[in-house]
Amino acid sequence: MKQFWHRLYEYSEQYPVRFWLATAALLELAIETMSRHSLPKALGYMVTAWPAFLFNVCIIGWTFLLLYLVRRKLFLGILISVIWCILGAVNGVLLSCRVTPFNWSDLRLSKDAMAIMGKYIAPWQVMLGAAVLIMLCIGLAFLFRRLPRSGRKALYIRSLAMMVTLFFGLIGLASMGERIGIFPEKFDNLADAYQSYGFVFCFSNSMLNIGISKPEDYSTQVVQEIQEEEIMEDSHVTAPLITEELTEVVDSRGVAVTRKTPNIIFVQLESFSDPLQYTHMKCSKDPIPNFRSLMENYTSGWLDVPAVGAGTANTEFEVITGMNLDFFGPGEYPYKTVLRTEVCESLCFDLKDIGYHAQAIHNNMGTFYDRHTIFSQLGFDTFTSIEYMSNYDTTPTGWPKDGMLADQILKVLNSTTGADMIYTISVQGHGAYPEEKLIESPAVTVSGLETEGETNAMEYYIQQIHEMDSFVLDLVQRLETRGEPAILVLYGDHLPSLNLTEDRLKNGNVLQTQYVIWDNLGLQKQDRELEAYQLAAYALDQVGIHRGTMFGFHQTYLAQKDHRPEEQEKYLGDMEILEYDMLYGEQDIFGGENPYEATKLHMGVQPIRISGVMRQDGGTYVTGWNFTEHSHVYLNGKEMETTFVSRNMLYVPDMELEEGENSVTVAQVSDDNIVLSESETYLLR
């Protein structure tokens, strides 16, 4: 072995360019083999898409230029090779449980990924991965000590100049590749892009290409022209069958407006789709009869979404803001980038201008996708996450079921006296879908799949959406019984990760789900295929609400009967200009200054309060209201071991009071140990 490393060192020193380019080529082949789960497929890619393959080799080769900055050249080269292999392996693992490949945004989501990793990866797999990483670290430490240093001096200035020059050279080659059609200008489908252009190129692109690039024709004059010609003027007519007395409010621009508005409820159904659209299998009965009945009787249609198999937050972003994610970086999550610092005009801000309360509900962790902070940037007033819910059922894989959401929506409606816009995000249909049989007697069975594992996974998924379909019926019935005017927008955020390809779908599109707009207003059924960023605009138009920049822009376009290619091209170009101006540009659409401010987001709609603290049988009972399993008692700022007894009682087995005055609070704490809110302090002596 010692002789092997010595010969390897000598060859790398004698023929460095040849050696490391060959290494880069082998690494590219290995990475594509892991990504495609097949060596023959990787070889096929290398032959049929050889320009992309070679460009990926050049990118890897560029990283080896770092070797010229150090004396331990062989060791650093091995370290860089290991890092590339780890990235390729991570991509291969992720593609075994979801459709979206590994990209730079996933590193921003690492905290969220760790929180749900146990639902996708078995404990033994986690332990195996940890063992491999430990062995790699030990091996690298051994090589660091044993491998010789290069006899050549490190040439810092020359090497850095060469790295910078070749970096811009690669960018120039990529731009040339775009012009001649080797590479795309935009990734319409991230999964397809990785297959066509390789992991290395696409991952690097996702790292460097973030946000919206400045459009060539962006200017104050162009923005003003779009505003005058393409954005429907703010207006609101009374919705049909609403005869109650109108109320007057003052909008954010200081204009008095008279409105009577229905409650507007969005329910984003996790991974919800229609299995009767799958061509490679058959169901024993209709899995979603209630949703189908709604589609037959109310406005409905196909919904083009920005993700498949994952990416809930991006569909959510498009619906809430009316913005098209195609203009952002490949695989980017605006929740993790621009919205961390920028306040964005949204459905919330626009409807609050006419007297609405903006409320969010999600039966999952409030910290997932950083919603507990991002929702204030989008204008929500309250956010009820799983930490504020109790006594709920879970799926066999541990996701909270959606049946609880009907209660939560009614609770939010009852918490205000005015009209509400409620954005609800469900979670029951979330993957992974286990191939072992966890449900002995599923409500719907399937046939036609090749393996028992596929059948079990599909039946598990269908069982979840069948129960979600029952929740839909329950919610509609309760809204009807409640009697207040309302529209309810239901839609799937993306297809599930169940190896669904275009040839396995009747509509032939993996980026489509379905939506329905139920109402108790007597609205006319107006079916239409929509983009996710058009959905809210179309729903608001049904009740005569024309408000907001992006929503007014979409309503103007949707009002046109025929869309010629040149009109659609102008529509998309102007949309990109608006999005850039609002988030990255001069904000000319607002007169040069964003009028919206982040809200002080209130977690939950029912206050958590302490009514008393009493010691009994060696322990301490804290009594009050609206406690949940996520309630933790704090004594003088220190967290106590807490047991949930009921919504009105918590138990602390060991709480030693200090002399004098003591402060007791109850905090709602997420599973990743982030305090979401605290009760008022209860003073105890």
pLDDT digits (tens, 9 = 90+) for 337-374: 999 999 999 999 999 999 899 999 999 999 998 999 99
H or E element, residue 383: strand 382-384
Radius of gyration of the chain (CA): 28
Which residues touch 216 (CB under 8 Å, ≥6 apart)? none
Through-space distance between the first and last CA atoms of the chain, rounded to whole angstroms? 72
What is the mean predicted confidence (pLDDT) over 141-159? 77
Instruction: With H, G, I as helix, E, B as strand and everything else as coil, classify residue 562.
Output: coil
Q: What's the Cα-to-Cα distance from 489 to each of 238, 241, 294, 454, 475, rounded to whole Å?
A: 19, 19, 11, 32, 12
pLDDT over 80 at 257, yes or no: no
pLDDT over 60 at 428, yes or no: yes
Proportion of the chain in helix, strand, coil states, percent, rounded to 5: 45, 15, 35
pLDDT over 90 at 124, yes or no: no
Tell me the pairing of strands 357-362 and 420-425. parallel
Quick one: how far is CA 550 from the chain centroid? Answer: 21
Position 116 scores a pLDDT of 56
Lowest mean pLDDT among 148-157, 258-267, 619-628: 148-157
Q: E strands within 565-661? A: 602-603, 609-616, 619-625, 631-635, 638-639, 643-646, 649-652
H or E element, residue 665: strand 662-669
What is the mean predicted confidence (pLDDT) over 489-496? 96
Q: Tell me the C-alpha distance between 435 and 445, whole Å.
A: 14
The secondary structure of residue 672, as a DSSP letter, is: T
Q: One-letter amino acid identity for 26?
A: L
pLDDT over 70 at 553, yes or no: yes
Confirm if 308 and 492 have CB atoms less than 8 A apart: no
Confirm if 663 and 640 have CB atoms less than 8 A apart: no
The pair of three-digit structure tokens given for residue 34, joined into one six-digit string? 């892991």
Instruction: With H, G, I as helix, E, B as strand and everything else as coil, classify residue 35.
Output: helix
Q: What angle do CA 105, 108, 109 make, to 5 degrees?
A: 90
pLDDT digits (tens, 9 = 90+) for 272-312: 999 999 999 999 999 999 999 999 999 999 999 998 877 89
Q: What angle do CA 387, 389, 393 make, to 5 degrees?
A: 110
Q: Tell me the C-alpha distance between 376 and 383, whole Å.
A: 9
Q: Tell me the C-alpha distance between 293 and 285, whole Å.
A: 14
Q: Looking at beta carbons, which pairs linking 237-242 to residues 24 or more positions away fall under 8 Å?
A: 237/544, 238/544, 239/485, 239/521, 239/523, 239/543, 239/544, 240/521, 240/522, 240/523, 241/485, 241/521, 241/522, 242/485, 242/521
Question: Average model confidence (pLDDT) for the chain?
Answer: 88
- φ, ψ dihedrals at 99, nearest 5°: -90, -35
What is the mean predicted confidence (pLDDT) over 588-603? 95
Instruction: With H, G, I as helix, E, B as strand and everything else as coil, classify residue 615.
Output: strand
Q: One-letter amino acid identity for 413?
A: L
Lowest mean pLDDT among 80-89, 246-255, 352-361, 372-381: 246-255
Global pTM reads: 0.85
